[in-house]
A and B are shown apart, each in its own frame.
Chain A
Amino acid sequence: MEQRINTEVWKALIRAFLPFKGRDVISILDFTREDLEELFERADYFLEHRRSYRLLEDYVVALAFFEPSTRTRLSFETAAKLLGAKVIGFTSEEGISIAKGESLADTIRMLDAYADIIVIRHRYEGAALFAAEIAESPVINAGDGKQHHPTQAMLDLYTIRKLYGSIDGLVYGVVGDLRYGRAASSFIYGLTLFKPKKVYLISPPLLRARPEVLEVLKERGIPFEEVTKVDEVVEEVDVLYVTRIQKERFPDPLEYERVKGSYRITIELLKRGKEHLRVLHPLPKVDEIEPAVDTSKYAAYFTQARFGVPVRMALLILIAGVEP
């Protein structure tokens, strides 16, 4: 009994002083603002001290990508390798053949036997949570269907903090496919941990944010408004978070052709905005942003992508419970 109490006390102490240690990363909503601030401080360190470390020398990080991804996978792989971890895993094609006939549960059990941290991307919503329930090692969700992409949200918020010094008090416009896009949903969830002045949800009616996302905004008292054109709010926003609208989402291709222009970000449009207006995008982008924007002061998305590595390095060491 006494032994048990001690373990409980010990666990509570670890939670208090090392809130990330051993933790699963399923949704950005599992975190507090304080957690993220701690994460961002570590990310600052890795951004300033870009070199390789031996902090995770004894660690195996498994990258289980059941769905195609180049950016997120490379970003995790680079982060893990810079920390000295051994990286194992598979990408979508192997993932499909592994998954053929085998349950996700069995694949996770196998990876759990090898790895100290499991990073998973899967087509099904809830796959990462399910994996976390099975695995003893901490699980990081690198995208589950249309639902969550918490590490993307972390680096998005980190980018805004870097650009503006604070995430609070700004007006945000989240543009594109808010219904099926996990980056957009996760970004909106992430904003609810802070105090945005206002969040505009800008999408065609067909691709509005899902009810559960709006529920969180309401519950947390975030001022928000659903609009259908970037045009309507461009003068007011400080940050435009742009995501791709896929043609396939529209039952009628003509409807897509008719609306797509309302979500295209051009230099012309941005010039109407505030002086310090910046555009973020989780990438890859196709034609939702005019190429001329890429080399303008408005484009923050390449910097944003670069922050993926230090933010993920920070997350990995915090989960492992080690310090640089």
Chain B
Amino acid sequence: MNPQTASLTVSKIRNGTVIDHIPAGKALLVLRILGITGKEGFRTAVLMNVESKKLGKKDIIKIEERELTSDEVNVIALVAPSATINIIREYNVYKKLRVQIPQIIRGFIKCPNPTCITNRGREALKARFKVIKRQPLLLQCVYCGTIISQEDLEKQLVM
């Protein structure tokens, strides 16, 4: 182990989730997608531009005391399809999960079309997107048909 990685990975977590192999620079987007702002209280470590054999450089996120659900895991695929997820219990890898782009995405993406019914504030309705292409990623609003690309999605997450 080279000294650099050693110094960054020392903080092994006892219970929680490690998201590894995130393409370099996408860690913050992953946090956005998961709705983690830091206000939730659990300890979170974000490592960026760590050397990686597979990716050259990668990001890693460690979240203590929180196990991601498979729904949460799958939405990560939208911005980081290469990511791997380890659920940690008592310092050991309890479960390994691979992310997979879901067919339908609910909730966290807003439809960019202002006259989409999901943007009519009065309705108790959240946007729902169908994945129509995986590579390159294309999502379509189930309600109004608007298509958004990976780029549109990432822009929205950064805002």
8 shortest interchain CB distances as A-B pairs: A126-B143, A125-B144, A126-B117, A124-B117, A212-B145, A126-B144, A103-B122, A127-B117
Q: Which residue of B lies closest to A125 (CB)?
A: B144
A122 contact set on B, CB distance < 8 A: 117
Residue of chain B at shortest CB distance from A219: B132
- Is B140 a contact of A212 with CB atoms below 8 Å? yes
* A123 surroundings in chain B (CB, below 8 A): 115
**How far in angstroms is the closest Cβ of chain B from A264?**
29
Chain A residues in 8 Å Cβ range of B124: 103, 105
Residue numbers of B with Cβ under 8 A of A are: 113, 115-118, 120, 122-125, 132, 140-147
Main secondary structure on A side of the interface with B:
mixed
Indicate with 1 or 0, residue by residue over A205-232, a CB within 8 angstroms of chain B CB atoms.
0000011100100000000000000000
A130 touches which of B113, B115, B125, B145 (Cβ 8 Å): B125
With A104-B122, A105-B124, A130-B117 known to touch, is A147 a contact of B145 (CB < 8 Å)? yes
Q: Are B123 and A129 in contact (CB under 8 A)?
A: no
In addition to A103-B122, A125-B146, 9 A-B residue pairs with Cβ atoms within 8 Å of each other are A103-B124, A124-B115, A124-B116, A125-B117, A126-B117, A130-B143, A145-B115, A145-B144, A212-B145
Contact residues of B: prevailing secondary structure: loop
Interface members, chain A 96-129 (any B CB < 8 Å): 102-105, 122-127, 129
Find the B residue at minimum CB distance from A214. B147
Query: A residues near B, CB below 8 A?
Result: 102-105, 122-127, 129-130, 144-147, 210-212, 215
Contact A212 B146 (CB under 8 A): yes
B139 to chain A, nearest CB (A): 11
In the complex with contacts A210-B145, A211-B147, A126-B116 CB distance below 8 A = yes
A126 CA / B115 CA spacing, docked (Å): 9
> What is the minimal beta-carbon distance from A205 to any residue of chain B, in angstroms?
19
Distance from B150 Cβ to chain A, minimum over Cβ atoms (Å): 15
Task: Determine if B144 and A105 form an interchain contact, defined as CB atoms under 8 angstroms apart.
Answer: no
Q: How far is the CA of A155 from the CA of B135 in the complex (A)?
A: 38
On whether the beta carbons of B123 and A105 are closer than 8 Å, the reply is yes
Query: Hey, which chain B residues are within 8 Å of A146, CB to CB?
Result: 115
Contact B116 A125 (CB under 8 A): yes
Q: How far is the CB of A213 from chain B (nearest CB, A)?
A: 8
Query: Which residue of B has the minimal Cβ distance to A146?
Result: B115
A212 CA to B146 CA, complexed, in Å: 7
